[in-house]
Structure formats: C-alpha cells, structure tokens
Structure 1
C-alpha cells in the first residue's frame, strides 16, 4: 500500500542516517475506504493526490512546531511516499486518509519525496504561524493556511535527499 508520511526538512536530515522512518507508531495518510467513499467517482490518481494532500497538511503542523523551536528553519512541507505491506497499516481517527503504521519504514521502501519549492516558503511560514488561529475559527488565518495549499509539492527521487537537506 502506498502511504504518505509527513515530515520536515530537519527531521528528514535526521532520518537519513538512521536508514528508516520511525519509530512506530507512525502517523501517515493513504487511500482508505473512507477516502474512497468520500470521493466516490474519483480515479486512483485523484485519490492518491487527496491522501498526499492530507500528509502535506500534517507536515504543516509538524513545521509549525519546528519553527517554534527554530524560527530560522526552512519553511517547506515535506511528504515521503512509501510502499509498505498492507498489514502494517491500520485506519486512524481524524482525516479520512489518516492511517497509523505499526512498524518503522525502512529507507528502501521509500518511493519518492515531495517538497515545497523555495518560492513557497513565505506562504508556508505564514500558514504554519496561522494554524492555531485557523483551527479556532479565524477566517483570515484559514486563508493563510489555504495559501500554503495553493503550492504544489515538487517530486524528488529518494537519491536526491542529500541535496534537499544539505
């Protein structure tokens, strides 16, 4: 099953030497029965896109915490795509695409990395700073969060991770 794991650039830099994404349990996103039901009539590509978008939103929350610790961190959402055994995945509460992985993901199972372009950083930084207010119902903050979602994540091969985190 293809899963989408949210992370940040600093966390990605720490994961690479470990040789795996972990420890378990890991929050991720995937094409779940609930997502298929919600997007009835959508093809597999559209469903995968929706699952990856869920992971990008989760990455934004991780990034907000990261920026709280290090305001100078690069403000880019990061999503790792991995192909894991179906048995490793179970549904999770929350987003329709939310799942939990019961085991770490070995680096060799990663299929690709998706990262914001540098041009998105200002919007992503503003969105990360507005997450709490948006969750509380602030409409202007919700617009800032939507501003990050207007940016498409760029595709990278796993072998390009050193260049992304360097």
Structure 2
C-alpha cells in the first residue's frame, strides 16, 4: 500500500544518515476506505493526493513542535515521504486517511519525497505556529495554514534525497 509519512527536515537528514525513515508514533496517511467514502468523487490519483495533503498538514504539526522547542535551525518546510509498505493498520480514531505502521521504513521502500521549496518557508513557519488553532476552528489560523498549503510540494526521487538534504 502506498502511504504518506509526515516528516521534518531533521527526520529527512536522519533518513539519509541511517537509511531508514522513522515516523513519529508510526503515523502515516493513505487512501483508506474511510477517505474514499468522505469524497463524493475523485479517482485514485486524486484521493491519494488528498492523503498526501493530510500528511503535509501533519508535517506542519511536527514542525510546530520542533520550532516550539527552539529548533530555529530547522528549515520551515513540510516533508512528506511516500513509501510502499505491506504492514498497515487503519486508524479510524484519527483523520479519514490515517494509518499506522510498525517500525521504521527502509529507504528501499521509499517511492518519492515531497518537500516545500525555500519560497514557502515564511508561510510554513507561520502555519506551523497556527495549525493547532486552525484544527480547533480559528479562522485566522486556518487562513495562515491555507497560505502554506497554497505552496505545492516539490517531488524528488529517492536517489535525490541526499542532495536535497545537503543543499537544504
């Protein structure tokens, strides 16, 4: 199953160093039956994109924590790792596309990495600080999150990940 793992720049750097991506709490997103039911229409490609966007929003939450802990050197860029894994458990207690995996994802299972460009950093930094309030219905915070989500994530092949991290 294709899954989308939310991450941050330091998590991407650890992937390059160790050869494994270690998702926080095993949380990932995928085209689940519940996600499919929540849309009136859309083909698999469109619905997988929706799952990737859920992972991108989760990446904002992770960034909010890192930046809140004083990790100011962390680039304010959303990171989503797309991977193909077999051992996936549905998480109906979370978002429509939420799933859980057990353990790290080896680099060999990674299909692509999606990362914000440098131009998105200001909007992403603002959104990372506002995403929790947006989740609770704050319209001003939702506007800030929307500003970040207006930036398309760039696509990178697995062979390019080390270069992306190095050039940061």
- With structure 2 as the length reference, what TM-score do the two structures score? 0.91
The change in CA–CA distance for 1:136 and 1:38 in structure 2 (over 3 A counts) is closer
Query: Residue in 2 aligned with 1:89?
Result: 88
Unaligned runs of 5+ in 2: none
Deviations 1:63-96 (A, max 9, x none): 11111231232100000000111xx001112110
Q: Give the number of equivalent residue pairs.
A: 164
Over 6 Å off, 4+ runs: none
Deviation of 1:24 (Å): 8.1
SS at match of 2:54: helix
Q: Distance in 2 between matches of 1:101 and 1:72?
A: 29
Written as runs of structure 1 = structure 2, the 5 A alignment for 1:130-141 is 130-141=130-141
- With structure 1 as the length reference, what TM-score do the two structures score? 0.92
Deviation of 1:23 (Å): 6.7
- Asked if 1 retains the 8 angstrom alpha-carbon contact of 2:61 and 2:132, the reply is no
- Asked if 2 retains the 8 angstrom alpha-carbon contact of 1:27 and 1:101, the reply is yes
